[in-house]
Amino acid sequence: MNLSIPYHLENFIGGNLIAPLSNQYIDCINPATAEVYAQIPDSDEQDVEAAVLAAQKAFASWSVTPVEERFKILNRIAELIDEHIEALALAETNDNGKPLWLSKRMDIPRASSNFRFFATGIMHFASESHSMEDKAINYTLRQPIGVVGCISPWNLPLYLFTWKIAPAIAAGNCVIAKPSEVTPVTAYLLSKICKEAGLPNGVLNIVHGTGPNCGEAIVQHKAIKAISFTGSTRAGERIASIAAPMFKKLSLELGGKNAAIIFADCEPIAIGWEKMMKETIRSSFTNQGQICLCTSRILIEESIYEKFKAAFVEQVKALTIGDPLQDTSRQGAIVSKLHFDKVMACIETAKQEGATILCGGNAVTVKGRCGNGYFIQPTVMEGLGAGAKTNMEEIFGPVVTLQSFTTEEQALQLANASNYGLAATIWTQDISKANRIAAKVQTGITWINCWLLRDLRTPFGGVKNSGVGREGGWDALKFFTETKNVCIEL
């Protein structure tokens, strides 16, 4: 199988790689070098219509394909991803700007895990029956919806693309999928892998393009019965305004303004302090802070605030910013010029609000081939209240703020001050305190003394402006099926 990347990428419709019907393309830019290295289809409603027709044609047979056969195909896709990890990781790094070691360690392995998990999961997916004593018995059918839409973001391109596609096709649906136009290459390569694995034509259709031209055409299409979207709260609001009046099923995983709550009782225990410091740096700056689960607000108990600040800033300053292809680079490039400008504008807003920049805050020029790339120093700041714009709005970059608290109640008030509610991290050696805080913090996900420790069986999603619905495990398979009750009188 050839995983080379042509200059003109193509849509994957009905099992074939085809050019956009309009013959219009969008530049694909390597953010580490600012160079155009490929072009992708600028698809519109014509391409989406062709994909829907292909999916409808495939649905009749795929929806009744035995689950063991679906397992074999999805598991083969996972195997092929693993076999081509080097090519996929390099493509992801050149497309996204993240360090190559991170693509190899996190992004591509998680993509294969997504397919493997749902391949096995569908083998065990079951429904219930309810007996009404000697009167009747009810049983539940969970049937595939039909044609569904999956729209994924640019920060974890193949990781999140497969997170949506795998459960959808495992459950017997046919998919119209749109990757981000900013990071489309691994989605293009996935089409080749699916073809090689024997996925029937039309079960997965990948249509490239922008949100306004291509994404909205997917959301608006009457034959697409469900939309799974990960991205910004603003885009999620737009999707909901279109899809809700059409009574489509919606799963929206949106933004985050996540807090790490650090209590003083982790300080006397050396191993606890060291782990907390290491994980808080990782949660703040992994993928240049461009993960919806990243920490952006660090809340520290007042008695250890100065000690934490000194140690944290010292270690953040030591993070190496450099060419993503170098193993020594801890921080790569920001994903695009547009997002680079947004993050820099947010740092300027923080200064205007009165923030004290403890380290970072500037753009960086990396020597060599990356001289024109989009790099920003990891940035730590303090001196802003909970209501400051910088502490309320998602920045989605290598920027964190520090705030102090004196009581559990104040820590909770600060943590819950944001309009978002995706994730939180609690650091304490007091398990009772940890459970009290976890029960009251307004998030969909809470980690205690760890970060990004994921079990794919668990529900994933947020509250408030962080979205609607849950992904992962049975929640994902239930979302991509319709539930029907059948009652038989005895």
CB neighbours of residue 485 within 10 Å? 11
- Token couple for 460: 């994933």
Q: Is 135 left (phi over 0), alpha (psi -120 to 50) or beta?
A: alpha
Q: Please, what is the Cα angle at 457 between 455 and 458, to 5 degrees?
A: 75
- Token couple for 422: 């995706």
Residue written as tokens 């992708």? 40
DSSP state, residue 104: I
The residues annotated as belonging to the active site are: 253, 292
- Token couple for 35: 């160079």
| Cα-based distances in Å from 170 to 224, 315, 417 | 17, 44, 39
What long-range pairs does 271-276 form, CB within 8 A, spacing at least 24? 272/427, 272/429, 272/449, 275/449, 276/427, 276/449
DSSP state, residue 289: G
- Token couple for 457: 């069986």
Residue written as tokens 């999805």? 74
Residue written as tokens 């009046």? 245
Quote the radius of gyration of the chain (alpha carbons, Å). Answer: 23
Distance in angstroms (rounded) separating the CA atoms of residues 345 and 295: 19
- Token couple for 57: 């044609």
Hey, what's the torsion of the CAs at 339, 341, 346, 351, to 10 degrees?
A: 160
Contact 156, 287 (CB under 8 A): yes
Contact 443, 278 (CB under 8 A): no
Contacts of 308 (CB under 8 A, 6+ apart): 262, 277, 300, 402
CB neighbours of residue 379 within 10 Å? 27
Q: What phi, psi does 229 have (nearest 5°)?
A: -130, 135
Q: Is 20 left (phi over 0), alpha (psi -120 to 50) or beta?
A: beta
Q: What phi, psi does 150 have (nearest 5°)?
A: -125, 120
